[in-house]
Amino acid sequence: MLAYIVRRLLYAIPILIGVNLITFALFFVVNTPDDMARMQLGVKRVTPEAIEKWKVERGYDKPLFVNAAAGGLDTVTDTIFFEKSARMFVGDFGRAEDGRDIAREISARMVPSLAIALPTFILGLFVTITFALTLAFFRATAFDFWGVVLCVAAMSISGLFYIIGGQYLIAKIWRLVPISGFGDGLDAWRFLILPVVIGVVSGIGSSTRWYRTIFLEEVSKDYVRTARAKGLPETIVFFRHILRNALIPILTGVVVVIPLLFMGSLLTESFFGIPGLGSYTIDAINAQDFAVVRSMVFIGSVLYIIGLILTDISYTLVDPRIRFS
């Protein structure tokens, strides 16, 4: 068990190196720093001196991989690859275009992101599992049929519509909560409630349908027939037997996204003006701030890998077959 987790942890290292190489190739090999400088400076101000100055300011004037001129250890460390990519492994992300320290910015913005993403995740999971269980309980009835139809309709609606429509209806027409913004401390709930509700509602369609199929798959298994042959009422068959077995694929399927909750949601945060990592990313994309995008890619990958490891651990926790072997 422990050996297994250690193995997974070790496997994370080559994965992260791979991620790093891909992003590095994307950002520095497909386009040279000169191209980026031209982009950033705009067409009017492009002069060779300006480009050079831009590169020096950001440390892009070094060779990509091997600095033959530096000598010693610097041959490999005084390069763009080492400065901009390898140092991410120790949490040094460098500075954004506006000169701020990216690492500090990220740690400050995690809290608002989490404040939205975590309640959305937990509430969403609870609501969709409840719905799916209800549909599966009433399987092959008109209720189930129309429930599925509603789910398909709900998942055919663009996520943008949920946000724009919800914001318009609840905040603008009914004026129940502020349209956007973020507050400190306990005051924040007024700002959180709308994005959380919208986040939950927009995920209902597809998740409910997915969980319902998982439940139905369990319903058709032999042990369910055994449980019924014992004379157990249908509610106990569902809650004691089916729910427990179905939760294994459901929980292990969602565990992988838990660490990614830190990243926040791009859309929700930008619409509701929440100063989290999602809006940070979107602003960086719009401002073409490559240093920030690169850092977010790296952090996202680290979180995903943590998610994979958590998935493995959660398997061993929920499933006795793995726990005891």
Partner 1 sequence: MLEVKDLRLGFSSARQMLAAVDGISFTIAKGETFALLGESGCGKSVTAQGILRLLPAAGRVLGGSVRLDGEELLALPEADMRAYRGGRMAMIFQEPATSLNPVLTVGRQIGEVLERHLDMTGEPARQRMLELLRQVGIADPERRLDEYPFQLSGGMKQRVMIAIALAGEPELLIADEPTTALDVTVQAQILDLLAGLQAERGMGMLLITHDLGVVARMAHRIGVMYAGELVEVASREDFFTNPRHPYTQALFAALPEVSRRGQKLVTIPGQVPSLAAMPSGCRFADRCPQVMAICREQSPAWRETTAGHVVRCHWQGDRAVDDAACHSLTELDLQAAQPFLEVAELKVHFPIRKGILQRIVGHVRAVDGVALAIAPGRTLALVGESGCGKTTVGKALLQLIKPSAGSVRLGGSELVGLSGRRLRAARRHMQMVFQDPFASLNPRLRVGEIIAEGMGALGLEKERAAQTAAVIALLQQVGLPAEAVGRFPHEFSGGQRQRIAIARALAVQPQLLICDEPTSALDVSVQAQILNLLKALQADLGVAYLFITHNFAVVEYLAHDVAVMYLGRIVERGQAEEVLRTPQHPYTRALLSAVPVPRLEGGEQRIRLPGETPSPANPPAGCHFHPRCPKATDLCRQTYPETTTISATHSVACHFPG
Partner 2 sequence: MSGFQVVVLWSDVLVWLLVLAGIGVGVLIAKSPPLLAAWRRVGANRVGMASATLLLAFIVIGLLDSLHYRVALDGKPGVKTQYAIEVLSVLDALVTPLRTQNEKTYSAPFATHLYAKESIERPGLGTVREYPRLKFGASHLADTATLADDVAATALRTGALALFAWLALAAVVAFRCGGWRAVWRGDTVFAWNAVLATLAAILLVLVPLFALAGDYHVFGTDKVGQDVLYQILKSVRTALIIGLVTTLVMLPMAVLLGIVAGYFRGWIDDVIQYLYTVLNSIPGVLLIAAAVLMMQVVIDTHPEWFATAAERADLRLLALCFILGITSWTGLCRLLRGETLKLRELEYIQAAQAFGVSSWRIILRHILPNLMHIVIIALVMDFSGLVLAEAVLSYVGIGVDPTMTSFGTMINNARMELGREPVVWWSLAAAFAAMFLLVLAANLFADAVRDAFDPRAA
Residues in contact with partner 2 by CB under 8 A are: 14-16, 18-19, 22-23, 26-27, 30-31, 35-36, 38-39, 152-153, 155-161, 164, 167-168, 172, 260, 263, 266-267, 270, 281-282, 285-286, 288, 290, 293-294, 296-297, 300-301, 304-305, 308
User: Which helix (H) or strand (E) element contains residue 130?
Assistant: helix 102-137
Beta strands in 181-245 (DSSP E): none
42, 62, 87, 90 from 103: Cα distances, Å = 27, 23, 12, 11
Paired strand residues for 95: 101
In the complex with partner 1, which residue's Cβ is closer, 15 or 46?
A: 15
Given the complex with partner 2, which of 232 and 258 has the nearer CB atom? 258
Contact 37, 51 (CB under 8 A): yes
Report the partner that residue 95 touches, choosing among partner 1, partner 2, none (CB closer than 5 to 8 A by kind): none
Q: How far is the CB of 12 from partner 2 (least distance, A)?
A: 9
DSSP 86: G
Q: For partner 2, give the closer residue by CB, 124 or 264.
A: 264
Work out the burial of residue 222: count CB atoms within 10 Å of its CB; fewer than 13 is exposed, 13-18 middle, 19 or more buried.
Answer: exposed
- Which residues contact partner 1 by CB under 8 A? 3, 6-7, 10, 139-140, 221-223, 225-233, 236, 240-241, 244-245, 248, 318-321, 324-325
Q: Which residue has the tokens 């995740």?
A: 121
Least distance from partner 1 to the Cβ atom of residue 305, Å: 17
Q: What's the CA gap between 228 and 211, in Å, rounded?
A: 22
Hey, what are 278's tokens? 């999602």
Q: Pick from partner 1, partner 2, none: which does 235 bind, CB < 5 to 8 A by kind?
A: none
186 binds, options partner 2, partner 1, none, Cβ within 5 to 8 A by partner type: none
Nearer CB in complex with partner 2: 123/285:
285
Residue 7 contact partner, candidates partner 1, partner 2, none, CB within 5 to 8 A by sort of partner: partner 1
What would the DSSP string read from start to end of 272-303? HT--SHHHHHHHHHHTT-HHHHHHHHHHHHHH
Name the DSSP class of 152. H
45 binds, among partner 2, partner 1, none (CB under 5 to 8 A by kind): none
Partner in contact with 241, chosen from partner 2, partner 1, none, beta carbon below 5 to 8 Å by kind: partner 1
How is residue 314 written in tokens?
Answer: 């959660």
